[in-house]
Structure 1
């Protein structure tokens, strides 16, 4: 799988926000890393990276990341080496001087729907209610369309505001998602899928595409039409379109572990798992101190703050 956060399109988007991006590659490895601010100072962060085909390639990528961090005065490197898997990853990372970050920045567990089989088989893996809604919701006057027009992001923003008021969470800002739309939608790197009832929007989902994977990133619906469950056939439509485009996977982007019913994602995890995907686990977010004394001071201050809270 090619992770969208390691693509050129994501680098272009980060640069459109005024952030400095570091991109390097070598034999069997590559990375896209972004300079970010942290209470410790500057950080060089590689989301779902670096990409490496072997332990030797990983070491070369880590050396290049460290070099990039030193060149810009960063306090530490932050990575999410998804290609390592989870078996033995912690030992390998600790052996190279890395330590777990205070919190993971990207999901450690996701659900992946594989699109390589015939789409009838993809549908067969879903819960029957999902298949039935996809096949029959048109009888209720619901239709679906996709858009690469950045102005259409307003549809999703309106639904996100509704969801935030209902569930008491804070979505990403309108400015951020509007810039996502302006940067990524015209090129086809992002697509907005819209469910409409008699021509009026009732649900929307924004997806990002890499060379082989579509990532289900943001979705929300109109509360007044919840009984139609349009979000289910909307997601199946997103998958069918990805299949038609020749993509191999749909990443449903973050689910809760089965043994964590109190997890903040537990509610929509059941929704995502109803599409018949397979779970994939990642090692999480790890830090490599470059300015070790300053990083240690940052960690001590963070622990003291947490105790006071």
Structure 2
């Protein structure tokens, strides 16, 4: 039985989902390797994006996959391939990646670190790895009138969307668009590749979380809760239920999907990263996003344009911060 973590981003259903978004998808496989890659178009040019891939069993397979990706990118007139090595059985060191002609991308698309739980241990051990507060909430939340159920009905994604809108308005973050998540639900939920978990208080939804599923791994993809009932901490027993349900379903890993470095307490993700780590488990670090230039001159122009745009944004952000401080001082005066 395969017990390696696997990513839905390299699955046939993810390809179907991307097709539904209007994207062109390339899929190819060979002896010990496979990939799914999406053609992306931006104002700075086109590139082929291979999320959480290619998946290769050994170095030779990885090199063959990279060569195939390069051919596909050239045929599409793309400037480069952006890939995310480290998924599959092959170890991908910095030296190996640079030897293959890759260079570190100016930005990571998927998180470079994630937090993983090993579901092959027994339930008692899983619970023992969590904070006592999490265990107690899981065992006693029903006493407060809260129940947790699951749904494979794509229409129920509206429950999660409502909570995401609330959190977005309250915290000022940008979730995935409604169209994106509605199509993900429609494509993935009926086949069991996604599942919605809903916490209800006296029958009314107060929190929801969407997971993505593969043959080995459940990923904690999108979640939000109603602020009115935040004292119940329903998100905690909801996540414990997702973890234990994944184990009962025969999965071997639970992927929390992205955490910040533990030694960066000011990182924008620090808060929810502490939340994810509180359920036990271990960190998995990937090499991040790497680029394979195909049209070298255009790729250099792309990198320079990215750097210039980043500098402009940093300048604008600093100006906004300075203006805000000046207004505060003026009010105090």
TM-score (norm 1): 0.97
Tell me whether 90-99 or 73-82 shows the greater mean CA deviation.
Answer: 90-99
- Alpha-carbon distance in structure 2 between the residues aligned to 1:84 and 1:291: 28
Contact kept? 1:84, 1:283, Cα under 8 Å: no
- Could you say which structure has the larger radius of gyration? 2
**Worse overlay, 175-184 or 204-213:** 175-184
Counterpart in 2 of 1:102? 106
Match of 2:219 in 1: 215
CA deviation after TM superposition for structure 1 residue 292, in Å: 0.8
- Asked whether the 8 Å contact 1:85–1:281 carries over to 2, the reply is no
Query: Judging changes above 3 Å, is the alpha-carbon distance between structure 1 residues 126 and 84 closer, same or farther for their aligned structure 2 residues?
Result: same
Counterpart in the other structure of 2:229: 225
The normalised TM-score by structure 2 is 0.90
Is 1:146 paired with 2:153? no
User: What does residue 56 of structure 1 align with?
Assistant: 60
Q: Which secondary structure does the structure 2 equivalent of 1:9 belong to?
A: helix
1:290 corresponds to 2:294: yes
The C-alpha deviation readout for 1:96-153, integer Å capped at 9, x for no partner, is 2211111100011110011111111111111111111101110111001000111100
Give the corresponding residue for 1:262: 266
Distance 1:305 1:159 in 2: 33
1:305 and 1:20 map into 2 onto residues whose CA distance is: 27
**Which residue is 1:11 aligned to?**
15
The match for 2:130 is: 126
How many angstroms does 1:4 deviate by? 1.1
Which ranges in structure 1 are unaligned for 5 or more consecutive residues? none
Structure 1 residue 305: Cα displacement: 3.1
Q: Which moved more, 1:90-99 or 1:232-241?
A: 90-99
Match of 1:83 in 2: 87
Q: What does residue range 21-32 of structure 1 map to in structure 2 within 5 Å?
A: 21-32=25-36
Q: CA deviation at 1:241?
A: 1.3
How far 1:84 sits from its partner (Å)? 7.7
| Residues matched between the structures, number | 309
Moved more, 4-13 or 84-93: 84-93
Secondary structure of 2:307 counterpart: helix
Secondary structure, counterpart of 1:14 in structure 2: helix
Q: What are the superposed Cα offsets for residues 221-277 of structure 1, whole Å, 9 maximum, x if unpaired?
A: 000000000000000111111111110011000011011111110010111001001
